[in-house]
């Protein structure tokens, strides 16, 4: 993880439960590495010490002061957003991150997830240690986030109003598009992309595709399979229908799995090793680090037998299963795949 200062801040609208605990935050105004003068002005107005992470509820007077600070620093658009927020009846918070330590509050966690989905930070560039312990499990409804313990009463109240409450999911993570819709993407089923996903411009996520938090695509990319937490997909790569990438959250090791540029992971295939640029894994083949590979020359001669982990970093390879022997083979490729440009313009 990155131990250097990240200097990020966000003005957000916080949802609280009946105990007045913050359970989620929407940040319509956030910045990464703001100008030193702006960071200094905000910290001075809020009384934040240097090198400190803080979450502050903004009262009207402080919000007005910060609007002036933003305007003086040349951030008129952000100042207008803050003005609109402060004129509402919603709870407004400022989250200020001076150092990239593990999140200790819900507001910090949501700011980091927003930074990823806004493409202001790449996966693995922010410290997300302990994130699951910080985020509460919530009911995500058509009336917003609701504390699970308070859900039965809210459902009753909705019924009494004659409008049943729609519960879309019960999870620690919301869908990304309820908070951030990055430019230049298509998402066929929005529930399958979590807040904290990083989608590069030109990315298409089809109906059965899934992208977890702290993972994503450089773009352009075609995602019809699963991008697990921590996995990054290189430009011009295609994850076929039903395929899978092994993450590190459950059952995986500590090695970061990635897919290089111009790669294809075939339908119902899977990878448990990083793929270098220009590689193809044939449909239906799950390639783990310990998979025994018969490495062939371009003319089909057996060169050696190794475990798949020993081929990491080698570009332009085809991984396939021999239809006669059932053995897994690795052969060099002369050409790499290409994506249909019309599918990824998203204009």
Supply the residues annotated as catalytic: 224
227 Cα distance to chain centroid: 10
- B/e letters for 126-148, b = 16+ CB within 10 Å, e = fewer, are bbbeebeebbbebbbbeeebbbe
- Of the candidates 22, 53, 11, the one whose C-alpha atom is nearest the C-alpha of residue 135 is 22
DSSP designation for 34: -
- Of the candidates 101, 9, 109, the one whose C-alpha atom is nearest the C-alpha of residue 56 is 9
Q: Bin 152: left if φ > 0, else alpha if -120 < ψ < 50, else beta.
A: alpha
Q: What is the DSSP string of 263-296?
A: -EE-TT-EESS-B-TT-EE-TT-EE-TT-EEEEE
The encoded tokens of residue 16 equal 């609280």
Strand order in the sheet with 232-233: 197-199, 215-217, 232-233, 258-259
Q: Find all residues with CB under 8 Å of 167, minimum gap 6, and list them.
A: 139, 140, 141, 151
Please report how many Cα atoms fall inside a 13 Å half-sphere around the Cα of residue 287, on the Cβ side.
33
Cβ atoms within 10 Å, residue 255 = 15
Q: Is 332 exposed, middle or buried, given 0-12, 13-18 or 19+ CB atoms closer than 10 A?
A: middle
Token pair 């400190």 in the structure block, residue: 52
- Of the candidates 128, 138, 137, the one whose C-alpha atom is nearest the C-alpha of residue 103 is 128
């Amino acid at each position: 993880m990155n131990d250097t200062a990240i200097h990020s801040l966000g003005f957000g609208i916080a949802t609280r439960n009946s105990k007045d605990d913050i359970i989620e935050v929407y940040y319509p105004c956030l910045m990464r590495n703001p100008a030193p003068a702006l960071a200094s002005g905000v910290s001075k107005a809020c009384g934040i010490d240097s090198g400190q992470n803080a979450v502050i509820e903004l009262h009207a007077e402080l919000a007005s002061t910060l609007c002036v600070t933003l305007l003086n620093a040349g951030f008129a658009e952000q100042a207008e957003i803050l003005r609109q927020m402060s004129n509402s009846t919603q709870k407004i918070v400022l989250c200020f991150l001076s150092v990239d330590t593990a999140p200790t509050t819900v507001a910090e966690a949501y700011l980091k997830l927003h930074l990823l989905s806004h493409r202001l930070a790449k996966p693995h560039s922010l410290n997300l240690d302990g994130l699951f312990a910080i985020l509460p499990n919530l009911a995500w409804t058509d009336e917003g986030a609701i504390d699970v313990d308070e859900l039965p009463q809210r459902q009753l109240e909705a019924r009494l109003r004659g409008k049943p409450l729609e519960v879309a999911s019960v999870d620690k993570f919301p869908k990304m598009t309820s908070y951030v819709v990055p430019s230049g993407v298509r998402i066929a089923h929005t529930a399958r992309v979590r807040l904290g996903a990083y989608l590069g411009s030109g990315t298409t996520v089809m109906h059965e595709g899934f992208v977890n938090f702290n993972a994503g695509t450089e773009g352009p990319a075609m995602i019809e399979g699963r991008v697990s937490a921590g996995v990054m997909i290189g430009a011009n790569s295609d994850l076929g229908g039903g395929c899978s990438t092994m993450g590190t959250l459950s059952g995986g090791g500590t090695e970061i799995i990635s897919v290089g540029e111009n790669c294809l992971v075939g339908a119902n295939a899977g990878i448990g090793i990083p793929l270098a640029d220009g590689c193809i894994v044939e449909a239906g083949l799950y390639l783990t680090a310990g998979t025994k590979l018969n490495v062939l020359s371009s003319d089909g001669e057996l060169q050696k037998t190794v475990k798949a982990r020993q081929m990491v970093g080698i570009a332009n390879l085809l991984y396939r299963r021999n239809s006669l022997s059932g053995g897994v083979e690795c052969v060099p490729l002369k050409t790499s795949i290409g994506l249909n440009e019309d599918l990824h313009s998203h204009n």
